[in-house]
Homo-oligomer: A and B are copies of this chain.
Amino acid sequence: MKGNLFIIGMGPGDPELVTKKAERILHSLSLIAYFCKKGEIGHARQIAKPYLTYDSPELRFEYPLTTEIPHYTPKYKDMLETFYDHCAFNLRKKLDKGQDIGLLCEGDPLLYGSAIYILERLQEQYSIEIIPGIMAMNGCWSRLHLPIVRNDQTLTILSATLPLDRLLIKLNQSEAIVIMKIGRNLAKIKTALQLTDLLEKAIYIERGTQNQERFLPLSQIQNEKAPYFSLILITGKDN
């Protein structure tokens, strides 16, 4: 009998924003896996800490260091494909021995999540259950008491990794907006929002629902770079 893979959304950061279902499944497992950067604990692993009552091996998948290679190049894509192949290989070895595994994911696994690439590699041969998670944006707009859309308003969720020309088109077509993956794209995003007359409406949030949470109007941010756990919110026109 093969083991089951549980792809578990761990929410935005506050461990209390984990679902009852995620908690139950975590308690039933003796092996977890997660993605992280070299030298860091891993955000999903950090959130899971209060729910891990056992002391057992973990599969730690460290992203390859890619700061030297531009993200739009085929070389970067190849490197990531190889990385996900490697992760899938290691999960398969355990699943084939009948071991159940919980793959921990920050936010919701299927919105921009690395788990997508694992799902694609394993879903034909293995039993997989996906547990949705509270997304960073939900955590952030709740903390800010910011109604994001009402009535027939449209919400657009954008990746800050888009090139400037694409961003300008998308921003001009949008009402309420969430911009994710800010990081090193902060300066580009500020330019894009300025050019589309949206800068004054934009709210910047860093580490929403976590310790050291911080939010302020984007126009007041002077940094060139934002931490990975940051996003920008713009509410609909009626607000």
Write the residues of chain A forming the contact surface with B, with a CB cutoff of 8 angstroms. 9, 11-12, 14-21, 23-24, 108-113, 116, 119-120, 123, 128, 130-135, 138-139, 141-143, 145-159, 161-162, 166, 170, 173
Contacts and interface: CB of A to CB of B under 8 A. Distances in A.
Query: How many copies of the shown chain assemble into the complex?
Result: 2
Contacts of A132: 12, 17, 134, 138-139, 141-142
Please classify the interface of chain A as helix (H, G, I), strand (E, B), loop, or mixed, using the class held by over half of its residues.
mixed
Contact of A149 (B15, B18, B111, B142): B111
Contacts of A151: 112, 159, 161
A109 B132 CA distance: 17
20 contacts: A9-B142, A12-B132, A16-B19, A17-B20, A18-B20, A19-B19, A110-B146, A111-B148, A116-B150, A119-B147, A131-B142, A132-B134, A132-B138, A134-B134, A135-B138, A151-B159, A152-B161, A154-B162, A155-B156, A156-B157
B17 A18 contact: no
Given A17-B132, A116-B147, A142-B131, A111 B158 contact: no
Contacts of A23: 20
A104 to B, nearest CB: 15
Contacts of A148: 110-111
